[in-house]
Amino acid sequence: MHQSRIWTVLLASTLAFARVLYAEDIYVDDPHSYADPRTFRTKHLALDLTADFSRKQLVGHAELHLERVDPAARELVLDTRDLTIRGVELVGRVNRPLKFKLDPPDAILGSALRIAVPRGATTFVVRVKYETSPDASGLQWLEPAQTAGGKHPFLYSQSQAIHARSWIPLQDTPAIRLTYEARIRTPPELLAVMSARNEIDAVRDGDYTFRMPQPIPSYLIALGVGDLEFKAIGPRTGVYAEPSVLAAAAHEFAHTEAMLATCEKLFGPYQWERYDLLILPPSFMWGGMENPRLTFLTPTVIAGDRSLVSLIAHELAHSWSGNLVTNANWNSVWLNEGFTVYLERRIIEALYGSDRRAMEDVLGLQSLRADIAALEARGDASLTRLRVDLRGRDPDDGFSDVPYEKGRLFLGFLESRLGRERLDAFLQDYFTRFAFQSVTTDTFLEYLWEHIAQDPGIVLTKAEIEEWIDQPGIPSSAVLPRSDAFERVDAQRRAWLDGSITAAELDSARWTTHEWLHFLGNLPETITTEQLRELDAAFDLTGVKNAIVARSWLKNAIRAGYAPASPRLEQYLTSIGRRSLVKGLYEELLKTPEGARRAREIYAKARPLYQIPLRQQLDELIYKPGE
């Protein structure tokens, strides 16, 4: 490199970091919200909603308790999507109607609701009367047939990232935190639960009240309604599920209380009183969602052998990274997810040992590498940075393993430089200092630098950190995980592939889910139907129940055109709606014309099961224009 060019590069990165050193306003720049927190800020929300299952609508009102930050401000802007606004009032002894205007919708952001607010008090309450659309992106209305029990309908919400606005008119940015209360009316035979204080022994009468006393960002407001029962796991933990799922769920997640204790030892006190789980029907497009006090979960993690509980560790860890200290906007989502994956792995290590942790780290890295390659291939290499620019994009599209696994590698890198003890102390300080606040990447970097700069003997440069945050790919300073157990699996796989042993002779009797995932996830692309038939005969992989192992098997089956797995593939795709399990299978099918036909055939049957945002994504994938 030419000398002057080197200086330019050095100077540029120093300047980029200099900006980092000055605190900036978390309220300035959320590209995914029309709300302007520099004029008004919501402090509290009171909901009064009726769940009308026959019309698939929530009907009622939201009262926003607002603070006027700019005395000159006259227009309150709220985020909405597909809401019908029935009226807006200023709440007082006598409510006064307020003028409002709903902007035409933007495909990603929805419609700004502009409310004319009279001058006056610095705190006031606005009531918005509204109803939701049956296609609200943040609500899923399920028919009885789509539930485990088959007799009652089900409703759940999914607000992250920007879907809260499709069921509540509000300032839908994680820069703002609010407390909330709610009154939810349902058919009397159903139970409603929320990301709030839930009464374990609530009388089932169709009229439920909730209070969330800690300030949270809007994406953590959540509601579930169904034929739900509760079973305690420990003093602070328990499960809500449909009756037929309850016992299996309570058994699967029996270690939740121990995980909570481990977390408190590692990261500081748990601030949310209780930690309960809500098991959703299989339509749920996520593995889990860290709704405070009440994680929402896919039933696909109920494997029978607790092999997939890292998902609980993950959602529980969000009680610190994410829910306590929150990314101020979605460009900094790695602050939520990267920290959480690191915390998750520490919990797994503490409870199940370093071998299991190493396997989960390696599987994470493999998945990260595949995602980076895919992002590069589609010209989205900028999304392989930790700090991203999602302006003009749907935050659901910017979603990949990068904020998760690259974020976790960055924390591993910090651990290698600071030492585990120092990093743990730093993390506890960070969670205490920013508890119940929202932070940007810059705020985090500034805090990190202030803290460690005082430490003698730590070798860490700003240029290294800058590379992690703002450069694509995996930096060379990454500490890459390795697993002895997986190396033994590799040796077995090689021996089988080169013909020195048969499939039945694979030394797999003691393989756990993780080893199977590593084995199946790393079969060569050239694997043949004959080889798959041999494996299937030895291990009945087409019949395997574990949803993650099954996915990996089915991916190989599609690749090789292994016909005996075809009915299982259809059954799988028409019974599971979890995005990370099904999307890759459709993508694999779409690689050949014959597969594409099969994909369309299966998708036509499966589509009604899938959650609305997933339908939109798969519609685009499967029904490409011109086909």
Residues that are catalytic: 315, 404
Q: Which listed option, ligand BES, Zn ion, none, makes contact with residue 160 (CB within 5 to 8 Å by class)?
A: ligand BES
The binder of 506, among ligand BES, Zn ion, none, by C-beta within 5 to 8 A per type, is none
Cβ closest to ligand BES, residue 39 vs residue 195: 195
Query: By beta-carbon distance, which residue lies closest to ligand BES?
Result: 287
Asked if 165 touches ligand BES (CB under 6 A), the answer is no
* 318 interacts with ligand BES by CB under 6 A: yes
DSSP SS3 for 63: strand
Q: Does 161 bind ligand BES (CB under 6 A)?
A: yes
CA dihedral over 372, 375, 378, 381, signed as positive or negative: negative
Pick between residue 237 and residue 300 the one whose CB is nearest to ligand BES: 300
Q: What are the backbone dihedrals phi and psi of residue 20, each rounded to the nearest 5 degrees, phi first? A: -60, -30
Tokens coding 281: 């029907």
Give the Cα separation of 191 and 135 in Å (integer): 22
**315 makes contact with ligand BES (CB under 6 A):** yes
What is the nearest approach in angstroms of ligand BES to the Cβ of residue 529?
A: 31
**364 CB-near residues (< 8 Å, 6+ apart):** 341, 401, 404, 405, 408, 481
Cβ-proximal residues to 101 (8 Å cutoff; 6+ apart), any chain: 113, 114
Q: Which residue has the tokens 């430490």?
A: 455
Among 337, 349, 360, 536, which residue interacts with ligand BES (rule: CB under 6 A)?
A: 337
Verify binding: residue 320, ligand BES, rule CB under 6 A. no
Return the number of the residue (289 or 557) whose C-beta is nearest ligand BES: 289
Tokens of 21: 């050193």
Question: Residue 36's binding partner, choosing from ligand BES, Zn ion, none, with beta-carbon cut-off 5 to 8 A by kind?
Answer: none
DSSP bridge pairs for 90: 96, 126
Which of 132, 160, 440, 483 binds ligand BES (CB under 6 A)? It is: 160
Closer to ligand BES by Cβ: residue 282 or 288: 288
The neighbouring-strand residues paired with 286 are none
* Contact status: 359 vs ligand BES (CB under 6 A): no
Q: Tokens 């994909």 — which residue? A: 599
Q: How many residues does the chain have?
A: 627
Q: Which is nearer to Zn ion, 340 or 556 (CB)?
A: 340
Query: How many H helices and E strands in the chain?
Result: 19, 21
Output Rg (C-alpha) for the chain, integer angstroms: 25
DSSP H or E stretch at residue 338: helix 333-352
Identify any residues that bridge with 561 across adjacent strands, giving them in sequence order. none
CB of 93 to Zn ion, least distance (A): 45
Give which of 281, 287, 299 is closest to 404, Cα–Cα.
287
* Residue with smaller CB distance to ligand BES, 73 or 266: 266
C-beta closer to ligand BES: residue 161 or 250: 161
> Within 10 Å of residue 140's Cβ, how many Cβ atoms?
25
Paired with 223 in beta bridges are 194
Interacting partner of 289 out of Zn ion, ligand BES, none (Cβ under 5 to 8 A depending on kind): ligand BES
Q: From 178-186, 231-239, 308-316, 474-482, give the range in contact with ligand BES by CB under 6 A.
A: 308-316
Binding partner selected for residue 287 from Zn ion, ligand BES, none, CB under the kind-specific 5 to 8 Å limit = ligand BES
Q: Residues 338-377: x/- map of binding to Zn ion (CB under 5 A)?
A: --x-------------------------------------
Cα separation, 63 vs 55, in Å, equals 23
Q: Write the CB contacts of 445 (distance below 8 Å, at least 6 apart in sequence).
A: 17, 20, 465, 469
How many residues of this chain bind ligand BES (CB under 6 A)?
A: 15
Buried/exposed code over 327-356 (b: 16+ C-beta within 10 A; e: otherwise) = bbbbbbbbbbbbbbbbbbbbbbbbbbeeeb
Is the CB of 131 or the CB of 371 nearer to Zn ion? Answer: 371
Q: Which is nearer to ligand BES, 115 or 259 (CB)?
A: 259
Q: How far apart are CA 179 and CA 183, in angstroms?
A: 14
Identify residues 560-589 at the interface with ligand BES (CB under 6 A).
Answer: 580
Residue 230 engages ligand BES in binding (rule: CB under 6 A): no
Least Å from the CB of residue 281 to Zn ion:
21
> Which part of the chain contacts Zn ion (CB under 5 A), choosing from 173-181, 234-242, 329-337, 409-417?
329-337
Question: Is residue 238 within the footprint of ligand BES (CB under 6 A)?
Answer: no
Is 284 one of the binding residues for ligand BES (CB under 6 A)? Answer: no
Mask of contacts with ligand BES, 402-421, x by CB under 6 A? --x-----------------
Q: Where are the beta strands (DSSP E) in 132-200?
A: 139-142, 154-157, 177-185, 191-194
Quote the CA–CA distance of 322 and 161 in Å, as a whole number.
12
Q: Which two tokens stand for residue 266?
A: 């590692």
Residue 311 in the binding site for ligand BES (CB under 6 A): yes
**What is d(CA 590, CA 596) in angstroms, rounded to the nearest whole number?**
4
Interface contacts to ligand BES, rule CB under 6 A: 160-161, 286-290, 311, 314-315, 318, 337, 399, 404, 580
Interface contacts to Zn ion, rule CB under 5 A: 337, 340
